[in-house]
Amino acid sequence: MEATTQARIQTWLSGNYDAETKATIQKLQAEGNEKELDDAFYRTLEFGTGGLRGIMGVGSNRVNKYTIGAATQGLANYLKATYTNEPISVAIAYDSRNNSKYFAEITAAVFTANNIKVFLFEALRATPELSFAIRYLGCKSGVVLTASHNPKEYNGYKAYWNDGAQVVAPHDKNIIAEVEKIASVDDVKWDLKPEHLIHIGADLDEAYMAEVLKQSISKDAIARQHDLKIVYTPIHGTGITLIPELLKRFGFTNVNVVAEQATPDGNFSTVVYPNPEEAEALSMGVALAKKLDADLLMGTDPDADRVGIAAKNRKGEWQLLNGNQTAALLFYYMLNAWSEAGKLTGNEFIAKTIVTSDILNKMAAHYGVKAYNTLTGFKYIAGVIREKEGKEQFIVGGEESYGYLIGDFVRDKDALCSAVMIAEMAAYAKDKGLTLFDLLVDIYGKFGFYKESLISLTKKGKDGVAEIAAMMENLRNNPPAEIAGSKTMTMLDYHLQEETDLFSGNKCPLHFEKSNVLQFILEDGSKISARPSGTEPKIKFYFSIVEPLTNPDNFEETEAVLDAKLQQIISELHLN
């Protein structure tokens, strides 16, 4: 074990940490569990550009009272240095994870101890409502305690700025610097000042839901299709707080919640991962949808910022749609509905991330709407909305990882509003005699059959971090000349901020913030992206290929061609 790791352990054993924490460390020492001690203390859990996320437990590399407290103290110090002559308030929310409420109370206590007013939700609430609350209450910042869709062992701390978006430059780096200055547990002010604490709840719910109701476009279609059979599962998370009520207020009368997953539960007892991207997480929902012969299945993650859906395909079988497919449906619905309503003036825009399907750019061009591509992370989409506010009209934004935003009253991905708008979209399609899958096939016929896939490779521990770094460097220094019979034309390196023509060697600048992402564009239009996750010990590879779909009857045949090509690409990159 390295000397720095041993020093951190000793600091925790001799410092002002509680007796239970010290006893846990001593037990690990007595058991000779050096691997666990090393992983828990080999570094200080990094406060990244989005905040903290990690496994809960004792240690400097874990999410616990002390790492949460240090993060909050650093953020409080930065807020006080930034707003020297202004009153400061923050909003705090938490999800259904184990310890989320406890960590929210710790966060609130530290802020109040620093004479900062705190608006704390009285019970669990979704991340998008926290984003809304920051702007609605005029807060300077906000925090939500969540690890999103990670396994039950994880928790996290997401920091927001005064526009309701996750912090971006220069605030992100400046907050990190302040957090890193917290050298000791004694630097944290722990004692709650009750006079600075205000609990919030129902009034915020009503204000938020009023904004969601304004987004509805196809009220007549809902009225005719109000008994659309909807199955919804919150997967033991916060979506249960508002989604059923929102669906009711939109006018839907046949909403069926998966009873076994309706109760908030930090152990996520019916699933392996509480992630709507995983088929297993939605399996109970699919079973109920089959039993009821439903029209639509929706599921949200623990903090209700991501939504996954399923619908019957052309064979009548239930099929989970990936994030790009749902985005294609939702963006098309919003653009087409705005067009039909005569609301498009040429001053509207959509926003998507660079790893999300380019079919969305084609749609925007078709409707005369601008499309902005951002780095991965919804804070960048929020940044575009902030930059264009008062100049251009935002319609819809999204990313392939199941996060979407409709309207600009929230500045983060919002599964609450997205879920009810997806239900409205399904009612609109049914009113025209179409299933959602029929509508998707129609979209492919108009804009091209885009097929996307994602592979995530998990590399745990500090060895995994080094392995991921080595993989990226190898790709950067030795780009593949040809993949699946198609030449690699261009490499986009968002870390070096340059685009390279791999034939001429010519380079031109990429006007994006620096990010460790590589993209390869092939001669046939295929796009391959590699990106280490910013929140998990993973490296992600994104694949996108396209073929024309001239006849809906050729859907299965065209899909087979695309699937075969995807498998060839994955095989040649040795990722299967």
CA nearest to 531, candidates 544, 545, 518, 543:
518
**Amino acid identity for residue 141 in this structure:** S
What six digits make up the tokens of 564?
């075969």
CA nearest to 137, candidates 180, 87, 185:
87
- Cα–Cα distance, 483 to 526 (Å, whole number): 10
CATH class of this structure's domain 43-92+100-113+123-192: alpha beta
- Cα–Cα distance, 439 to 425 (Å, whole number): 10
What six digits make up the tokens of 322?
């990936």
**Max CA-CA distance within the chain?**
72
Contact 37, 57 (CB under 8 A): no
Is the sign of the CA dihedral 187, 188, 192, 197 positive or negative? positive
What six digits make up the tokens of 375?
């780095």
Domain range 450-572, CATH architecture: 2-Layer Sandwich (3.30)
Which pLDDT does position 301 carry in this prediction? 97
Which pLDDT does position 534 carry in this prediction? 66
Cα angle 333, 338, 339; round to 5: 100
Q: Going residue by residue through the chain, which has 576 residues, state the pLDDT in tens, using 9 for 90 and above.
A: 899 999 999 999 999 999 999 999 999 999 999 999 999 999 999 887 778 999 999 999 999 999 999 999 999 999 999 999 999 999 999 999 999 999 999 999 999 999 999 999 999 999 999 999 999 999 999 999 999 988 999 999 999 999 999 998 889 889 989 998 998 999 999 999 999 999 999 999 999 999 999 999 999 999 999 999 999 999 999 999 999 999 999 999 999 999 999 999 999 999 999 999 999 999 999 999 999 999 999 999 999 999 999 999 999 999 999 999 999 999 999 999 999 999 999 999 999 999 999 999 999 999 999 999 999 989 999 999 999 999 999 999 999 999 999 999 999 999 999 999 999 999 999 999 999 999 999 999 999 999 999 998 988 777 788 889 899 999 999 999 999 999 999 999 999 999 999 999 999 999 998 999 999 999 988 999 999 986 667 899 999 999 999 999 999 999 999 999 999 999 999 887
Which of the 8 DSSP states describes residue 293? Answer: T
Query: Rounded to the nearest 5°, which phi and psi values hold at 45?
Result: -50, 125
CA nearest to 252, candidates 273, 218, 227:
227
- Cα–Cα distance, 40 to 55 (Å, whole number): 9
CA distances from 534 to 48, 465, 516 (A): 8, 11, 10
**For this structure, is 148 an active site residue?**
yes
Residues making up the chain, counted from first to last? 576
| Residues 114-134: tens digit of each pLDDT | 999 999 999 999 999 999 999
Which pLDDT does position 574 carry in this prediction? 87
Contact 480, 491 (CB under 8 A): no
Q: CA torsion, points 211, 216, 217, 222, in degrees to nearest 10?
A: -160
pTM of the model: 0.94
- Cα–Cα distance, 406 to 373 (Å, whole number): 16
Contact 128, 121 (CB under 8 A): no
- Write the CB contacts of 34 (distance below 8 Å, at least 6 apart in sequence): 1
Within 13 Å, how many C-alpha atoms sit on residue 310's CB side? 28
User: Judging by beta carbons within 10 Å of its beta carbon (0-12, 13-18, 19+), is residue 399 exposed, middle or buried?
Assistant: buried
Topology of domain 208-447, per CATH? Alpha-D-Glucose-1,6-Bisphosphate; Chain A, domain 3 (3.40.120)
Instruction: Choose, from 100, 141, 148, 544, the residue flagged as catalytic.
Output: 148
Which pLDDT does position 461 carry in this prediction? 73
CA distances from 400 to 49, 324, 542 (A): 20, 5, 10
Query: Measured between alpha carbons, how far apart are the two ends of the chain, in Å?
Result: 34
Query: Rounded to the nearest 5°, which phi and psi values hold at 476?
Result: -65, -40
- Write the CB contacts of 19 (distance below 8 Å, at least 6 apart in sequence): none
